[in-house]
Structure 1
Amino acid sequence: MQSRIEARDPPRGMAQAERATSVRWRIFGVVFLITLINLVDRISLSIAMPTIAKEFALSPAMQGLILSSFFWSYALLQIPGGWLIDRFGPRRVVAAATLLWGAFQTLLGVASGGLSMLLLRVGLGAAEAPLFPAGGKLNALWLSRHERARGAVLMDAGSPLGAAIGGLAISNLILVFGSWRMAFIVAGLVTVGCGWLAWHYLRDDPAKHPGVNATELEHISGGAVPLAKVAFGAADELPFPARSAVAMCVGRLSWAMIFFGLLTWGPSYLAQARGLSLQQIGTSTFFIFLSGALGSLSGGFLCDALAPAAWRVAK
């Protein structure tokens, strides 16, 4: 019996040469799902606003305040959110943030008027603020240098795809239940479930994930940054020139103006200026943001494909 067991045990050299597991991509599959749900919750109010405005008799000015209130706290808490990620790790922050914004999304379903809805949207923005910075840190911790563009777009593409699916999902939930309130509550409860998934599966350190084998860990450590070393360094330690950082910030700012403008005001424009029905609004937003998701994925995979050639040219 002992000889049979020993015969099945692979030699040490074979164990070291085993095929790498793919936990890092499953990690980003979870991040992609959470990002998608994030945008479903974010677009839900824009989709339902024409209906809510009639029920609460909201003026155009009040509608504008409610729709924009999300970004007040979302923008202000970006830097504090980054500090929390460095202090407690992305796993804890992503799980806690997802549970918290799921709670705010659920409570939106029982809002009693414009003021309570405005305050709950401020809370939703605060809770969602750390998600994308946490995704950036997970990218550095889990992926090699030549995989990071794909990791980044798996997260970024979740934004337009979430908006696309969210437009369809929320509009159809409102039609099925005959109530925007139930649509918000269902969306919020799904988000709470995603918070549990984040806590259960994400890890801050690949070496501490039970599914990662030695080969994948070696692959990751060849390009990933240890958790203790992910911090702001001196200017001469930056991996790219300051002008590149400025250019990326300007590009991101320009993207955000267009994307969040469409996300926030697009459904109201389609309803008021074009007279589209709720179902037509959901279908229109689906195709608008699906195009963005496909473009984001294509760009990320293309960057990873071109990066080695660009690296050789730079040398």
Structure 2
Amino acid sequence: MKINSSDRSGAGKKTSVRWFIIFMLFAVTSINYADRATLSITGDSVQSDLGLNSVSMGYVFSAFGWAYVIGQLPGGWLLDRFGSKIVITVSILFWSFFTLLQGAIGFFSAGTAIILLFILRFLVGFSEAPSFPGNGRVVASWFPSSERGTASAVFNSAQYFAIVIFSPLMGWLTHVFGWHSVFVIMGAAGILLAFVWIKTVYEPNCHPKINQAELAYIEKGGGLISMDDRQMKTEKDSKWPYIKQLLTSRMLIGVYIAQYCITTLTYFFLTWFPVYLVQARGMSILEAGFVASLPALCGFGGGVLGGIASDFLLKKGRSLTFARKAPIILGMVLSCSMIICNYTSSAWLVVIIMSLAFFGKGFGALGWAVVSDTSPKECAGLSGGLFNMFGNIASITTPIIIGYIVNATGSFNGALVFVGANAVAAILSYLLLVGPIERVVLVKQEQNPSRTLSV
């Protein structure tokens, strides 16, 4: 059902359907990140059973990242062509199915199992590629500018919530039933969630429970409520020429570099952090599962507070640029504190320091709010895909680089310095490269092919 758009005055009290939509994004993203983290929690057991050294384990960890990066632009194109709802539904179904299949690799010999594990992790990564660009499109269409920081922070903070809730569960499942059970249960949970998504999520103009007041509020505040209207499909046939224009924006290049650095922090926590707790700090897998949830809980709190703080600054009259950059820079400063762990032998002090670092990482994770603020309306999916592609190159490089550092030095000290240095690089990128944060306006190729970008 499409809401009649002839009257945007919106008499009466507005509904709050947009916050249910962000709840669904939060739920989907929680499962998304839990499925990414399955191998992290089970990593020590998998490494032992399959006879992998640290370098080999780093490459297996990176399998997800290779496919996730490769799939970003095709995923963004699919989102712009077919809309967020259907593409995200298919994405959930496929990544959950491939997660479930990983539970069966124990029935094969070690060499075959390693190959199958790499392939299935690769397929999970490719299937998840449209998820975050899709989230960014949904926020851009459902939320006014003044609420996008909070909305983006809520769905982005699901990555920490997933670790808080699912790390102890997966650690317990590994301890009691073996590592295979983790993949089966998480895969089945995702398949069930896909059916809930398809039944409850719609575009703003089509949602049966939204009223004119809320629709008018979203549109007046800059929400792109008609992004997926059928009458706009004719404008969605050719987006590839716009990629060159996006890549000529100094602002966006700075955002992409910073996102790569911030994602390096994310993938340290998603891949090597539980292994670090077991191998460097002497914890059991069960203990590591529970302990890993404590920094993640702080990351969740920091993620939500960062978005709220950013929107608060915006409502108080500060510029969009200041409102987005200030939390990012402060968060990255806090993240650098993880290097202090190299100078203490106390396991619990390490947990406290990591919790502070993860809080900072969450507080500064406003990249998707920046994407919603800057993406051109003509190709929001591709813009988000490009952003996510650059950022998630770190999902490939981080586990491999850390694997080589640990293998070469026999210690995680160099790994923590490497991750902390990326936080510093993110700060420098926002300070020196990004400049003012504004929505990119694309130049129609047929009108003026000599120009590349107007901001």
1:137-169 CA deviation, whole Å, 9 max, x = no partner?
Answer: 001111111111111111111112212322112
Partner Cα separation in structure 2 for residue 182 and residue 254 of structure 1? 33
Per the alignment, do residues 45 and 206 of structure 1 end up closer, same or farther by CA in structure 2, a change over 3 Å counting?
Answer: same
Structure 1 residue 311, shift from structure 2 partner:
4.2
Determine if the alignment matches structure 1 residue 310 to structure 2 residue 308: no
Higher mean C-alpha deviation, range 160-169 or range 143-152: 160-169
**Residue of structure 2 equivalent to 1:25:** 19
Higher mean C-alpha deviation, range 128-137 or range 268-277: 268-277
- Out of 267, 278, 281, the position equivalent to 1:274 is 281
CA contact (8 A) 1:62 1:114 kept: no
Partner Cα separation in structure 2 for residue 233 and residue 197 of structure 1? 36
Structure 1 residue 234, shift from structure 2 partner:
7.7
Determine if the alignment matches structure 1 residue 291 to structure 2 residue 298: yes
Partner Cα separation in structure 2 for residue 123 and residue 234 of structure 1? 28
Partner Cα separation in structure 1 for residue 38 and residue 20 of structure 2? 27
**Residue of structure 1 equivalent to 2:97:** 103
Per the alignment, do residues 156 and 141 of structure 1 end up closer, same or farther by CA in structure 2, a change over 3 Å counting?
Answer: same
State the SS of the aligned residue for 2:210: coil
**Residue of structure 2 equivalent to 1:158:** 158
Q: Which amino acid aligns with 2:308?
A: F
Structure 1 residue 232, shift from structure 2 partner:
9.0
- Out of 27, 31, 35, the position equivalent to 2:29 is 35
Determine if the alignment matches structure 1 residue 198 to structure 2 residue 197: yes
Structure 1 residue 129, shift from structure 2 partner:
1.0
Higher mean C-alpha deviation, range 49-58 or range 251-260: 49-58
1:180-239 CA deviation, whole Å, 9 max, x = no partner?
Answer: 111210111001111111211111x2111111111111111212112148979989x99x
CA contact (8 A) 1:146 1:304 kept: yes
Partner Cα separation in structure 1 for residue 102 and residue 252 of structure 2? 38
Determine if the alignment matches structure 1 residue 167 to structure 2 residue 161: no
Determine if the alignment matches structure 1 residue 71 to structure 2 residue 79: no
CA contact (8 A) 1:28 1:151 kept: yes
Structure 1 residue 68, shift from structure 2 partner:
1.1
**Residue of structure 1 equivalent to 2:391:** none
Q: Which amino acid aligns with 1:186?
A: I
State the SS of the aligned residue for 1:109: helix
Structure 1 regions of 5+ residues with no counterpart? 1-14
Per the alignment, do residues 44 and 242 of structure 1 end up closer, same or farther by CA in structure 2, a change over 3 Å counting?
Answer: same
**Residue of structure 2 equivalent to 1:6:** none
**Residue of structure 2 equivalent to 1:7:** none
Higher mean C-alpha deviation, range 20-29 or range 161-170: 161-170
State the SS of the aligned residue for 2:199: helix
CA contact (8 A) 1:46 1:263 kept: yes
Structure 1 residue 291, shift from structure 2 partner:
1.5
Per the alignment, do residues 46 and 16 of structure 1 end up closer, same or farther by CA in structure 2, a change over 3 Å counting?
Answer: closer
**Residue of structure 2 equivalent to 1:122:** 122
Partner Cα separation in structure 2 for residue 16 and residue 103 of structure 1? 43
- Trace 1:42-53 onto structure 2 (pairs within 5 A): 42-53=36-47
Per the alignment, do residues 233 and 214 of structure 1 end up closer, same or farther by CA in structure 2, a change over 3 Å counting?
Answer: farther
Structure 2 regions of 5+ residues with no counterpart? 1-8, 323-435, 437-455
CA contact (8 A) 1:36 1:158 kept: yes
**Residue of structure 1 equivalent to 2:370:** none
Determine if the alignment matches structure 1 residue 83 to structure 2 residue 77: yes
Q: Which amino acid aligns with 2:196?
A: L
CA contact (8 A) 1:41 1:166 kept: no
Partner Cα separation in structure 2 for residue 254 and residue 132 of structure 1? 17
Per the alignment, do residues 19 and 67 of structure 1 end up closer, same or farther by CA in structure 2, a change over 3 Å counting?
Answer: same
**Residue of structure 1 equivalent to 2:135:** 135
Q: Given the two structures, how large is their TM-score scaled by the length of structure 1?
A: 0.87
Task: Determine which structure has greater relative contact order: mean sequence separation of CA pairs < 8 Å that are 6+ residues apart, divided by chain length.
Answer: 1
**Residue of structure 1 equivalent to 2:431:** none
Higher mean C-alpha deviation, range 178-187 or range 102-111: 178-187
CA contact (8 A) 2:10 2:214 kept: no
Q: Percent identity between the aligned chains?
A: 29
Provide the alpha-carbon RMSD of the alignment. 2.4
**Residue of structure 2 equivalent to 1:11:** none
State the SS of the aligned residue for 1:275: coil
**Residue of structure 2 equivalent to 1:182:** 181
Q: Which amino acid aligns with 2:162?
A: G
Determine if the alignment matches structure 1 residue 59 to structure 2 residue 53: yes
Partner Cα separation in structure 2 for residue 159 and residue 274 of structure 1? 24
1:244-280 CA deviation, whole Å, 9 max, x = no partner?
Answer: 3233222211111111122111112222222210121
State the SS of the aligned residue for 1:110: helix
Per the alignment, do residues 257 and 18 of structure 1 end up closer, same or farther by CA in structure 2, a change over 3 Å counting?
Answer: same
Partner Cα separation in structure 2 for residue 139 and residue 61 of structure 1? 39
Count of residue pairs brought into register by the alignment: 295
